[in-house]
Amino acid sequence: MSNIAADTAHRPVRHRGVAFWWSVLVGTLLIILGLLIGGGGAWLIALGGSWYYFPTGIALLVAGILMLAGNLAGAWLYLLTWLATIAWAYWEVGFDGWALLPRVLAPTIILIFVLLAIPAFRGVTGRGSRNAAYATGLLLPVIAAAAFSLFHINALAQSQPAQPPATSTPPASVGAPASQGTAIHQAGNNWPVYGGSELGTRYSPLNQITTANVSKLTRAWSFHTGDMPNEATKDLYSPENTPLEIGGHVYACSAKDIVISADARNGTQEWRYDPKVPDNAIPYGASCRGVAYFSVPGAKADQACATRIIFGTLDARLIAIDAKTGKPCSDFGQQGSVDLNQGIGETVPGWYSVTAPPTIVRGIAVVGAQVKDGQAEDAPSGVVRGYDATTGKLAWAWDMGHPDRSGAPPQGDTYTRGTPNMWTVAAADPQLGYVYLPLGNAAVDYYGVDRKDFENQFNSSIVAIDVTTGKPVWHFQTVHHDLWDYDLGSQPALVDFPTATGKIAAIIVPSKQGQIYVLDRKTGKPLFPVEERKVPSGGVEPDKLSKTQPYSGYAHLDQPALTEKDMWGMSPLDQLYCRIQFHRAFYQGEYTPPTVDRPFIEYPGYNGGSDWGSVAVDTDSGVLIANYNDMPNYDQLIPRKKADEMGFRPIDKGGSPKKVKDIGDPQAGSPYAIAVNAGWRLSTGLLCSKPPYGHIRAIDLKTGRTLWDEPLGSANNNGPFGIPSMLPLTIGTPNNGGPLVTAGGLIFIAASTDNKLRAIDVKTGKTVWQADLPAGGQTTPMTYEVDGRQYIVIAPGGHHFMETKVGDEVIAYALPSG
């Protein structure tokens, strides 16, 4: 008995104070984490994944048990586990700060918790306690310094300001739009066409604002459109508008197609036209990317509608209004409007909509439409039509299912249903008389067995149309038998391409899969080799899959194939979950075919690569600017019976409930619905793949060589569960919208989810100025000059899909006057 008493007297005594209860809390936490990580780690090993998590879980479990038993060895075991984790993390990803984050941040925080619990294991006056306290006090600052170094190593590289070059020479004056016919309406003092000109280069020769003085840029004026969502439409607004400026007047359109003219000097509203678009006409999103300006040949200056604004609406009307007064042009269609639903056949509001400006070339307004994705095989037609910009009369219709026709279908017939459509913006060469159509996919994106031969011929293609006849001249397909929603969302860019034998009239075609193709725009022949590379097989339609896909020999934005090491999250638990999901999915690299028995990974996802923001080309300096996304989708086909039970219904049958819409699309008429996790997001809102998710790149125009590539967007507004982190660190966020490049050596771009407009040095890729926007900048800025002052204009309207704040302001920036 005396021996037992003596032994008891020498055991460490834990006093039941704060330190005791803290140690119990930490020990319990370690046991819970050990069970979760150990169990998940065993599953991961069974799937063929990393062996790190299982032994780590066992170590955490044992450390927690020891700590609850009052044994200091539990703390030291956790310290050894932490050191092993640091070594493993470095072995996997080196000093990549964002990749290290989920691997070491949470374990480091827990280490601090463990060290703070050490005093509970000794008497407060004992030597052991003093040693433990000394060790804790020594280790905490070391850990903090290590964490700071690891997590900020990338941010430090972003913090060095670029040195501005010398000021450029003043630009040549560029007047109002030239006469109709073969003239190209170039950007200069005006911004007369959506992409700067019909060529779609988004380049301006203005250079009053340069890298040397852009730091002085300040807000000059702003106005509000007044078009804000109501309760029913709050999750549907995505205006995406880029205004025009012609002759001292700015022309902008709002999410629901309200057109406003404002004084380009001060933003004062001159007139406003509201087409009264109903809420139920909103398709995927309420968008009006822009309007078109047209000057009627031979019209007198004081004649009504001598100059006019022509635009499409969400409820499928083509409208012409007087550029001076905003009043409808009575000589256009039926009192200023053409019904684009004519010849389409069965449709309902929100299924067939116009979200992009028409492209006007040789007096013909060329217009396509957005057919809401994934609803049904029997969807409205993807017909592209040309209308006389003066009278509104149909000049031609290109219906790929009826190549023999050039006009409207016969009475009682319709344009071919379900064909690939052009929802984005075309480019044009007025001198050649060609308009270049970036086409989408057939009506059902992820199943192609039922597609017709002409759909397979033209889907995801760039098609050159002779605007005088409406007939195709050539086409180039960027994806064969597209099952990934890799439609061409980007407006192509037309340039005089430099070669060893002189300049060639070329077309640059960006794509969602990241390939950038350069073609002779007269013939469609590639100017750089296009390799038909073997791609994965399998899925639900192996006999229909293309065995190869076209890879560009010029430039590409796609990244290497994903591996388990690329998985991310907020913590080791998130990352472990993503690793398990990675191994559960079917993934064989790019063009992994859709599957029904398990999920499949689509990488890049359908947001690109390049999307509707397209690219900009500094044709004077020979530099191409491309912002792009780098995120996978996590998808799975759903058998029809199960899809029906879940409540999937196409739009013409009442549509799916919201919770089902959030899962995916019905694809009615095919054997499968589709579940799409765009960006492969976790329940926390964070992504399963590591950042950066958005980049901007400068490419040498002549060779396709990368000059620089930088992450685009900071972590300020990003965080778990939608809570902004407020971290001013460059992470590279998802982005939507495009770049503007100027002769001042600057790129102006918003697009990212941090609600900022940036000016970037073309030569270095470094941000030299930025401004906070009142809403999401998912649009493309433009520039013009009036009264000798250059303005940068942006309409930050926000975006429902990008989860940025919605707004209705149009803002101009300029250097201080005087």
Residue 537 CB partners (closer than 8 Å, separation 6+):
545, 547, 593
Assign residue 733 a region (left: φ > 0; alpha: ψ between -120 and 50; beta: otherwise): beta
Name the phi and psi angles at 678, rounded to 5.
-70, 125
**Rg (Cα) of the chain, in Å, rounded?**
30
| Helix, strand, or coil (residue 477) | strand
Distances (CA, A) of 612 to 272, 427, 712: 27, 13, 17
Q: Which helix (H) or strand (E) holds 518?
A: strand 515-520
Is there a catalytic annotation at residue 635?
A: no
Can you tell me the distance from the alpha carbon of 359 to that of 768, in angstroms, rounded to the nearest whole number?
34
3-class SS letters over 750-806: CCECCCEEEEEECCCCCEEEEEECCCCCCCCCEEEEECCEEEEEECCCCECCCCECC
How many residues would you count in the chain? 818
3-class SS letters over 408-473: CCCCCCCCCCCCCCCCCCCEEECCCCEEEEECCCCCCCCCCCCCCHHHHHHCCEEEEEECCCCEEE
Which residue in the list 429, 485, 566, 611 is annotated as catalytic?
A: 485
Q: Which residue pairs from 307-310 have beta carbons closer than 8 angstroms and sit at least 24 positions apart in sequence?
A: 307/246, 308/332, 308/389, 309/251, 309/259, 310/358, 310/360, 310/365, 310/389
> Do the beta carbons of residue 232 and residue 768 sit within 8 Å?
no
Q: List the structure tokens of 686.
A: 């964070």
Q: Which helix (H) or strand (E) holds 688?
A: none
Residue 44 CB partners (closer than 8 Å, separation 6+):
50, 53, 54, 576, 579, 580, 583
Q: Known catalytic residues?
A: 485
